[in-house]
Amino acid sequence: MAEYSDTLDRIDRRILAALAGNARLSMPALADAVGLSKTPVVARLKRLEAEGYIRGYHAALDTDRMGLAQVAFVQVTLSNTTALALDAFNAAIRDAREVEACHMIAGGFDYLLKIRTRDVAAYRRALTDVIATLPHVSQTSTFMVMETVKDAPTLPMR
Residue 75's CATH number: 3.30.70.920
pLDDT at 4 over 60: no
Q: Are residues 75 and 138 in the same domain?
A: yes
- The model's confidence at residue 32, banded by pLDDT at 50, 70 and 90, is very high
**Is the domain of 75 the same as that of 135?**
yes
C-alpha closest to that of 102 among 89, 120, 92, 114: 114
Is 113 within the bounds of a domain?
yes
Domain count along the chain: 2
> Does residue 153 belong to any structural domain of this protein?
no
Q: What is the mean pLDDT of residues 17-30?
A: 93
Is 15 domain-assigned?
A: yes
Dump pLDDT digits (tens) for 39-75.
999 999 999 999 999 999 988 888 899 999 999 999 9
Q: Do both 30 and 86 map to the same domain?
A: no
pLDDT score of 5 more than 80: no
Which whole number is the average pLDDT over 146-156?
Answer: 84
* Global confidence as pTM: 0.81
> Do the domain assignments include residue 88?
yes
Residue 107 domain boundaries: 70-144
